[in-house]
Amino acid sequence: MTEKMYIDALAEAIREEFDRDERVFMIGEDIGVYGGSFGVTKGMYEKYKDKLVDTPISEASIVGVGVGCALVGLRPIVEIMFSDFMMDAMEFIVNQAAKLSYMTGGQLCVPMVIRSPMGSGAGMAAQHSQSLPAIFAHIPGLKVVMPATPYDVKGLLKTAVRDDNPVIFLEHKLLYWTKGEVPEGEYLVPLGKADVKRQGGDITLVAGSIMVPRSLEAADALAKDGIECEVVDVRSLSPLDVDTIVSSVKKTGRLVIVEDDNENFGWGAEVAAKITNSEAFDFLDEPILRVAGNNIPIPYSPELEKAAVPQVEDVISAVKGVFSRRG
């Protein structure tokens, strides 16, 4: 195992898939000589100039070309500079990529990864800071992934590239420069399998993306007060690994769901509904609690931006609130 930054593990996965399969290539804005808006493909152009296709600023065209290439047997990795602008390509994502296999009885498939940075915290204001995974998880035919660690981002991207279905691959901007242990050899992380990042017996924290490290930090602080949190990283929203969450809740009897997208109709509500309708419901000692973003556009002001989405202290406060209900 070697300590690597999230962005380096991601780039390593791309290079390895380029080398492994001649059908894999990448298309997007400024991904060639410039190296991408966040530097994911920096330094790759000299070796992989035939696999890095720069495009004009037209998200619909980028995704449309990706769908077409996937239909004729290639395996494109489509980069959208900011996930906010995936909205411009929804026709090709929702009505084409997600539907064509179903509409042809499996005669066609769309093996395409659409990867894109998401989330707030970088001072990029309302149109460049949204977290929208729940929108895509709502669409049958799409797989939705949001890795939280360098280990997971590499293993999940390699798996996504090899999947025969379209995969929405969302990377929180603030995670790019975080560090973690990554194996040197080949490995894959399965889609649709959650990971227990921290064992605990008092309460379950279900989190995804940037909220995983924040939940882990909160759990460490809460342990000093005698509260042992189990932190479950969903890793994939679609498919969602309900079984791992159920097992954890049956053990702890309490559940807090931590998400950085807007609370209204967020993915945490779906997790809560599935637990309510599962065998874990009878094991709950307290009502399920959600900690999520405010239902507002992301502000430009740094202080207001920070207040708009859950921080470590919000998770700590929520967990303590659960235990204070009974005095």
Positions marked active-site: 59, 128
Find out whether 200 and 230 touch, Cβ atoms under 8 Å: yes
Residue 246, φ and ψ in degrees, nearest 5? -60, -45
Per-residue three-class SS string for 204-256:
EEEECCCHHHHHHHHHHHHHCCCCCEEEEECCEEECCCHHHHHHHHHHHCCEE
Backbone torsion region of residue 166, taken as left when φ is above 0, otherwise alpha when ψ lies between -120 and 50, otherwise beta:
beta
Question: First-to-last CA distance in the chain?
Answer: 45
Q: Which residues, 6 or more positions from 301, have their beta carbon under 8 angstroms from its beta carbon?
A: none
Q: Which residue, 2, 4, 10, is CA-closest to 172?
A: 10
Query: SS3 of 317, please?
Result: helix
Burial label for 314, CB within 10 Å (0-12, 13-18, 19+), is middle
Q: What residues contact residue 314 under an 8 Å CB cut-off, 6+ apart?
A: 291
Q: Report how far residue 31's alpha carbon sits from residue 13's, in angstroms, rounded to the nearest whole number.
A: 15
Tokens 């399965």 map to which residue? 190
Distance of CA 281 to CAs 35, 142, 195, 254, 271, Å?
48, 28, 21, 10, 12
